[in-house]
Amino acid sequence: MKTIFAKLSYLRCLFVILVCFSFLVAYTGLQAAQETKTENLGSCPNCGMMLKKWAHTNHEFTNSEGHFRTCSLHCVADMSKKSGDTPQNVRAALQLHPETMIPVENAVYVIGSKAPGTMTMVSKRVFASQADAKNFQAEKGGKIGTFDDAFKVATAELPKIKPKLEKKRKMKGKFVVPSEEDRCGVCNMLPAKYPKNNAQLLTPDKKRFHFCSTQCMFEFVNDPRKYGATGTGVGAAWVHDNTSGRFIFGKNAYYVVGSKVLGPMGYEAIPFDLKSDAMAFAKNNGGIVLKFQQVTPAKIRTP
């Protein structure tokens, strides 16, 4: 009898171990490939495009500034260039199953196929296996590679693609150069008179507001309804990079606040595309470097 009970106890222990192991495998699988509902993803923090529309090229990563989900590998490379940080814990959406994100260490990229790219002329599509990638390659062409291969391509093309993106955004009306008739939405000055300082934003209901300066833009952001907006949010903001003069996406710019360099309304939040440029400017002219969400009118007016 003792032998029988011993065998039964052994079998029970073995069963419990097997069940625990099964749960562990399932949990590991969920960690390796996460499914995400694409309906409510919001917008790309780097360019403002809707993540749902470009779900098949979404990427997510972390750096010293937080955790982000972008519309494309281009925006991962761009944000890395802006911040100076190497992206960590990168995941990519699968071409065949956009709701599924996998670690890029397990991903197979098809680079430069006939499939249109997202924010780039060189498309980069992601697959879970060599077989899926080769099937896509046979139909669309391109070169099979790793995340490192694709990231290098995305980084190398940034200097060429950014002027093209600015031109395309202007053609599509993402931003509009202010006319002589446009007035600042806060102080009623003429933004066209200040081409290096003017800014603009779109409210969620697609109404555009022009500003003579970033000081006025952030006054508006602080209380949109006070200046004629129907809601309280900001859809997209566009400002001039102080280094290149180009219009850049203001919600992911770096701002130097409290410097000795003044604008149309006095103290300014001076925008930069690159954090390194903002840091160098602050070193030479005083002030601190902040992101869009950290800037307030009070901080701007404090020298």
pLDDT in tens, 51-77: 999 999 999 999 999 999 999 999 999
The average pLDDT across 4-22 equals: 47
Residue 23 CA to residue 142 CA, distance in Å, equals 39
Asked which of 1-5, 147-151, 203-207 is least confident by mean pLDDT, the reply is 1-5
- Residue 209 burial by Cβ neighbours in a 10 Å radius (0-12, 13-18, 19+): buried
Do the beta carbons of residue 79 and residue 252 sit within 8 Å? yes
Whether 48 has a pLDDT exceeding 50, the answer reads yes
CB neighbour list of residue 62: distance below 8 Å, 6 or more residues apart: 68, 87, 88, 89
Q: What are phi and psi of 77, to 5 degrees?
A: -65, -40
The answer on pLDDT for 8 being more than 70 is no
Q: What percent of the chain has pLDDT over 70?
A: 87
More confident position, 177 or 12: 177
pLDDT tens column, 200-210: 999 988 899 99
- Tens-place pLDDT, residues 219-238: 999 999 999 998 777 889 99
Average pLDDT, the chain: 89
Rg (alpha carbons) of the chain, rounded to whole number = 25
Give SS3 for 223. coil
How does DSSP assign 3-56, residue by residue? HHHHHHHHHHHHHHHHHHHHHHHHHHHHHHSEE--STT--B-TTT--BTTTTGG
Q: Is the pLDDT of residue 38 over 90?
A: no
Q: Quickly state the pLDDT bin for 28 (edges 50, 70, 90).
A: very low
Average pLDDT over residues 264-277: 97
Query: How much is the pTM?
Result: 0.85
**Residue 82, pLDDT above cutoff 90:** yes
Task: Provide the residue ranges of all domains of the chain, joining segments of one domain with +.
Answer: 55-163, 182-301
- What pLDDT is stored for residue 71 in this prediction? 98
Beta carbons within 8 Å of 37's beta carbon, 6+ residues apart: 99
Place of tokens 């360099």: 261
pLDDT at position 272 over 60: yes
Strand partners, 50: 43
Question: How high is the pLDDT of residue 6?
Answer: 47
Q: What span, in angstroms and rounded, lies between the C-alpha atoms of 270 and 290?
A: 10
Q: Where are the beta strands (DSSP E) in the chain?
A: 34-35, 59-63, 66-70, 88-93, 100-103, 108-111, 124-127, 143-145, 199-202, 208-211, 236-240, 247-249, 254-263, 266-272, 288-291
Query: Which residues have C-beta within 8 Å of that of residue 141, sequence separation ≥ 6?
Result: 112, 113, 114
- Compute the distance between CA of residue 198 and CA of residue 210 in angstroms, rounded to an integer: 7
**What pLDDT is recorded for position 20?**
45
pLDDT at 156: 97
pLDDT at residue number 12: 58
Give residue 288's identity as a one-letter amino acid code.
I
Give the span between the Cα atoms of 248 and 245, in whole angstroms: 9
Question: What's the CA gap between 161 and 185, in Å, rounded?
Answer: 32
